[in-house]
Amino acid sequence: MRSLYHCSGEQISYWVKGVCKLSHPPVAWPETVTPAHFLHQSLSQKQDHWADCLPQLAQHYRQQGTGIFGQYHGLRWYNGELQGIAYADPIRLGEIAGYEQQKARLVENTRFLLAGYRALHVLLYGSRGSGKSSLVKGLLNEFGDRGLRLIEVAKSDLRDLPQIVDRLRSLPQSFILFVDDLSFEEDDEAFKALKVVLEGSVTARAKNVVVYATSNRRHLVREFFSDRPRPSEGDEVHGWDTMQEKLSFSDRFGLTLTFEPANQDTYLQIVQHLAQQAQIRLPQEDLEFRAKQWATQHNGRSGRSARQFVDYLQAELAINN
C-alpha cells in the first residue's frame, strides 16, 4: 500500500494496461486527487508505520462502503442489478415541516437500524402530498455518512426482494428498501415476495435491512365486494380467512405511521417554514392570503402544494424584483 501510494497515476495506468491487455492505457488520475482527508493525514504522519492505520482504514470502509456502495448512497434495483443514483434528491429532514411525531418515530427506528438492533419495517400511509416519500429520502441525506444506504425498489420488482436481501445481508452497511406508492392486486406475486421479507421464512431475517413503504391506502390489497364470502357453488370454503389475510397485510409492518390530511393551520405552518428557508420576505398576512388562494386554485392543502407554492413565489419575486 505504501508503495502504491507513492506511484504516479501514469505508472498505475501502464500496469493496468498490461494486466488487462488493453490496447490503450486508461486515463490516469491527476496528481491533485488525494485519498479521504483523514486517511491522507494519517498516512502522511506514519510513512513507515502504515500497519498502524489498518483499524482506522477498516472502520472507514466499513462505514462508507466500497465499490458501488462507496460511490453512491442512493441506489435502485433495475433489471436484476443494483444501479447507483448519481443525483439523489437532496432534501433534508429539516426542510420538512409538519407531522413532527411521525418524523421523530421514523428517525428513531432508523437510528436503531444503524446501531445494529432489529429495527422495524415501516409503512407510511395517508393523504397524498403529505411528505411521506420526502421523509424517507431525507433519511439518506441525514445518515448517509453513517453507513445508511437507500435502495429504491419498484413494485414490479418486488418479486426480487428475497434476492436483494440475500445480497445485502453480509455487508456492513445498513439498508432501507424503499417501496413507493405500494398496493397490490389480487393474486399478485409481489404480495407473496414482500410477505416473505416482512415475516421471514426458513432463512433468518437480515438485521441490516428494513423495508420502508409508502401508500395512500390503509389496506394494501384491493378488496372488491365480490371477494366477500357468500355460500355459493365454486366459492372458497374458508373465504373469510382469505379476505382477512388481505386486509391484515399492513399489520405485518412493525411500525405504521399515519399522515392525516393537512388542516389549514398545518398547511400554513408548512408554508411559513418553507418560505423562511427560501428567504422570502413577505408580510405574514400577505403570505398566508396567497397560500390560501394557491390551495384553493390548485391541489388543496398539503405539503406538496406548499412546496409548489413557495417554489413559484420564490421565482416570481426574484424575476419581478
The pLDDT tens digits for 222-241 are 544 454 455 554 454 444 44
pLDDT tens digit string along 239-253? 444 444 454 566 778
Q: Global pTM?
A: 0.75
3-state secondary structure of 39: helix
Average model confidence (pLDDT) across the chain = 81
Output the furthest CA–CA distance in the chain (Å, rounded).
Answer: 84
What per-residue confidence (pLDDT) applies to 76? 95
Neighbour-count burial of 280, counting CB atoms closer than 10 A to its CB (0-12 exposed, 13-18 middle, 19+ buried): middle
**Closest listed residue to residue 119, CA positions, set 162, 148, 145, 89:** 148
- For 250-267, what is each residue's pLDDT tens digit? 677 889 898 888 889 988
pLDDT in tens, 149-191: 999 999 888 889 889 999 999 999 999 999 988 876 655 566 6
242 or 7, which is more confident: 7
- Among 294, 261, 260, 288, which Cα is nearest to 275's? 288
Contact 125/216 with Cβ under 8 angstroms? yes
pLDDT of residue 46: 57
